[in-house]
Homo-oligomer: A and B are copies of this chain.
Amino acid sequence: MSAVTLSQVAREAGVSLATASRVLNGSDRRPAEHIAERVRNAAETLGYVANAQAQALARSTTGLVGLVVHDIADPYFSSIAKGVQRRARADRRQLLLAATDGTDQLDAVAAFAAHRTDAIIMAGSRRREIDPRLLAELTRYQKNGGRVVTIGQAWLEGAGSVTIDNRGAGAGLTDMLIRAGRTRFAFLGGPEELASAAERRAGFYWALERAGLTAEAELTEGFNSQGGYEAARGLLERLGPDAVRGLTVVVGNDVMALGAIAGFRHAGLLVPDDLWVAGFDDIPNLRDFSPGLTTVRFPLEQIGEAAADIALSHDEVRIQHVVGEIVRRESA
Complex Cα spacing A54 to B2, Å: 16
A217 interfacial by beta-carbon distance below 8 Å: no
Q: How far is the CB of A173 from chain B (nearest CB, A)?
A: 20
Interface string of A250-270 (1 = CB under 8 A from B): 000001001101100100000
Q: Is the CB of A85 within 8 A of B114?
A: no
Q: Is the CB of A73 within 8 A of B81?
A: yes
A72 interfacial by beta-carbon distance below 8 Å: yes
CB proximity to B under 8 Å, residues A170-204: none
Interface string of A38-50 (1 = CB under 8 A from B): 0000000001011
Q: How far is the CB of A99 from chain B (nearest CB, A)?
A: 5
A313 interfacial by beta-carbon distance below 8 Å: no
Chain A interface, number of residues (Cβ within 8 angstroms):
60
A332 interfacial by beta-carbon distance below 8 Å: no
Q: How far is the CB of A20 from chain B (nearest CB, A)?
A: 16
Asked, given contacts A1-B62, A111-B94, A289-B289, whether A85 binds B72 with beta carbons under 8 Å apart, the answer is yes
A225 interfacial by beta-carbon distance below 8 Å: yes
Choice from B54, B89, B140, B262 contacting A290 with Cβ under 8 Å: B262
CB proximity to B under 8 Å, residues A51-71: 51-54, 56-57, 60-62, 71
CB proximity to B under 8 Å, residues A218-262: 225, 229, 255, 258-259, 261-262
Q: Is the CB of A99 within 8 A of B85?
A: yes
Residues of B within 8 A of A115 (CB): 52-53, 94
Of the candidate stretches A149-157, A280-288, A318-326, the one touching chain B is A280-288
Chain A interfacial positions (CB closer than 8 Å to B): 1-3, 47, 49-54, 56-57, 60-62, 71-73, 75, 78-79, 81-82, 85-86, 89, 92, 94-99, 110-116, 118, 140, 144-146, 225, 229, 255, 258-259, 261-262, 265, 284-285, 287-290, 301
29 A/B residue pairs, CB under 8 Å, sorted by A: A1-B60, A1-B62, A2-B145, A3-B116, A53-B53, A53-B115, A57-B57, A71-B82, A72-B78, A72-B82, A72-B85, A73-B78, A85-B98, A85-B99, A89-B98, A94-B96, A94-B98, A95-B96, A95-B97, A95-B98, A96-B96, A225-B287, A258-B288, A259-B287, A261-B288, A262-B288, A262-B289, A262-B290, A290-B290
